[in-house]
Structure 1
Amino acid sequence: MGTKAATKDQGLIGLPYRYRCLNIHPYGRLSLKSQELTAIFLGTRLYCSFVMEYDVHTLLDLATLATTIWVIYMMRFNLKSSYMREKDNVPIHYVVIPCALLSLVVHPTTHHHIINRILWAFCVYMEAVSVLPQLRVMQNTKIVEPFTAHYVFALGVARFLSCAHWILQVLDTRGGLLTALGYGLWPPIVLLSEIVQTFILADFCYYYVQSVMGGQLVLRLPSGVV
C-alpha cells in the first residue's frame, strides 16, 4: 500500500554515509531536524505497517528507525559541540503542520480505520519533504564536505529510482496501479509525492555530479541552489 515497496531502501541507503559523517567528520553538517523528521515519518509508517500490512518492509523500517534514533542521539549528546544549530534553522512545525493538514484532507480510501489511513498519508507527505532542513543547512553553509554530499546524493539517487519505479509501474499496468491505490485525490497525490521527492534534490545532484567530474573533493554550491 502507498509507497512502502518503492521506498523501503531510501533510509537504509544513507546509513553508511551518516555513520561516516558522524564518526570521521562530526562537523559534516548533517541536519538534526532532517533526522528528527525522518524518525517521525518512520515511526508513523512503522505503526501503520504493524496494523495495516505487516511484512518484510516492516523489519526494514524498524532497522532504519533504530539507526536514525542512534544518529539523533549522537548529534544531541556525543557530538553536540559540533552541531551547527544556527545553520539548521528550519522550524520543524513548518514541515509537520502542512503535512498533517494535507493528510486530513487527502488520504487512502481503503477499508482500514480512518485514523490509520490519515497517519499513512501523513508519513507519505513527511517523507517527501523531510530532507528540506538538510538542504537548508547546505544552503546556509554553501560548502558541503564529501561525506555529507555523498549522503544527500545517495538519497537523491534512491528517490529518483523510487520515482522511476512508480512511473514504470503505472505505465506497465496502464494506470491499474493508481486504481489499486483507491479513488479520489489519493492516487495522483501519491505519485506527485514521489515526483516532489525527486525534484527537491535534483539541482543538488546536478552540482554534485559536476563537482565529482571536475575532481573537486569539496562541493561548493552557487547562490540560489537548494
Structure 2
Amino acid sequence: MRAQKTPIHAVSTWVRRQPPKVKAFLAVVSGMAALVLLRFIVHDHDNLFVAAEAVHSIGISVLIYKLMKEKTCAGLSLKSQELTAIFLAVRLYCSFVMEYDIHTLLDLATFLTTLWVIYMIRFNLKSSYMEDKDNFAIYYVVIPCAVLALFIHPSTSHHFLNRIFWAFCVYLEAVSVLPQLRVMQNTKIVEPFTAHYVFALGVARFLSCAHWVLQVLDTRGHLLVALGYGLWPSMVLISEIVQTFILADFCYYYVKSVFGGQLVLRLPSGVV
C-alpha cells in the first residue's frame, strides 16, 4: 500500500517539476507575500534588522559548536570566512569614523568570532579542511567590488576614501557566501551543522532585505534620498536583494530536506 503524500511533499514535488522560469516567478511571489506579511505583523521595521543580526549570531553559534564538538571543519569554506572578515573589518572602520552605534559592537563581536573560526580552520583543524573543494578564487569578487565602489559610493560629506570603503563592504558582503556555496556544490552532500549555518545566513539576509524594502515603502522613497543621490541608493537595495537570491535556492532545498526528515542535505547539480 502506497504511503499518502503530505500536502507539503505534494507541493514540493510540483514545484520541482516546473521549468526554471516558473520557479523564479514562484520565488518572487513567495518573497513578496512574505514582505506583505512582515509589514503587517512587525510594527517597528527596525526590529527586522535586529532580528537579522540575531539570526546571523545563531548561525555563527552553530558553526562554533560544529568546530568545538565535532573537531572538524569539513564542508566549510575558509575563503568565505576570510571574505566575511574583510568586509566586517572595513565596516568596523567605517562605523568608528562615520556612524558609531550599537551595531558597531555587534559587528565587532561577529568579526572576532570570524577570526577565531579562521584560526581554527587554518591551524587546529587544518587536516579536515577540504582545500581542493574550496577552489573559488576570491579575487573574482574582491576586485569587481573594489572597482564598483570606486565609481558608485555614497554622496555624503564624509572623506572620499571612507565613502569608497563603505560601498566596498556593502558590495563584498553581498557575495561573500559564494565560496561556501561552491564548496557545497563540489561536495554535493552537506552535513547538518554546515547546512544550519548557511540557512541561518539566508534567513538573516532575507530579514535584512525586508528591513530595507519596508523602510523605503514606509518613507515613500524618502529613505533613498537620505542615502544620497545617483546610483548609490539603488545599489544598496540591489546588494540586499542579491544576497537574498544567492541563498534562496539553497534555502529551498534545506527546507525540503528538513520536512522530508533527512539529516544530510543532498544538492542536485546546478543548484549553485
Aligned mates of 2:159, 2:54 — CA distance in 1 = 27
Aligned mates of 2:74, 2:163 — CA distance in 1 = 37
Residue in 1 that maps onto 2:258: 212
- Indicate how the Cα distance of structure 1 residues 7 and 185 shifts in structure 2: closer, same or farther if over 3 A, else same: farther
1:18 and 2:18 correspond: no
Residue in 2 that maps onto 1:42: 88
Structure 1 runs of 4+ aligned residues shifted over 4 Å read 4-11
Q: What is the CA RMSD across the aligned residues, in angstroms?
A: 1.4
Aligned mates of 1:5, 1:15 — CA distance in 2 = 15
Q: Percent identity?
A: 77
Residues 51 and 204, structure 2, Cα contact 8 Å, conserved in 1: no
Aligned mates of 2:50, 2:198 — CA distance in 1 = 21
TM-score (norm 2): 0.79
**Equivalent position amino acid for 2:233 in 1:** P
1:130 and 2:176 correspond: yes
- Indicate how the Cα distance of structure 1 residues 108 and 9 shifts in structure 2: closer, same or farther if over 3 A, else same: farther
**Equivalent position amino acid for 1:79 in 2:** L
**Corresponding residue to 1:88 among 134, 139, 143:** 134
Structure 1 residue runs of 5 or longer lacking an equivalent are none
Aligned mates of 1:211, 1:12 — CA distance in 2 = 23
Residue in 2 that maps onto 1:105: 151
Q: Which has the larger radius of gyration?
A: 2
Residues 208 and 219, structure 1, Cα contact 8 Å, conserved in 2: yes
1:157 and 2:190 correspond: no
Aligned mates of 2:147, 2:168 — CA distance in 1 = 9
Residues 22 and 28, structure 1, Cα contact 8 Å, conserved in 2: no
What's the secondary structure of 1:189's corresponding residue? helix
Aligned mates of 1:11, 1:60 — CA distance in 2 = 11
Number of aligned residues? 223
Structure 2 residue runs of 5 or longer lacking an equivalent are 1-48
**Equivalent position amino acid for 1:18 in 2:** L
Residues 6 and 166, structure 1, Cα contact 8 Å, conserved in 2: no
**Corresponding residue to 1:200 among 246, 256, 260:** 246
What's the secondary structure of 1:201's corresponding residue? helix
Report the Cα offset of residue 193 of structure 1.
0.2
Report the Cα offset of residue 211 of structure 1.
0.3
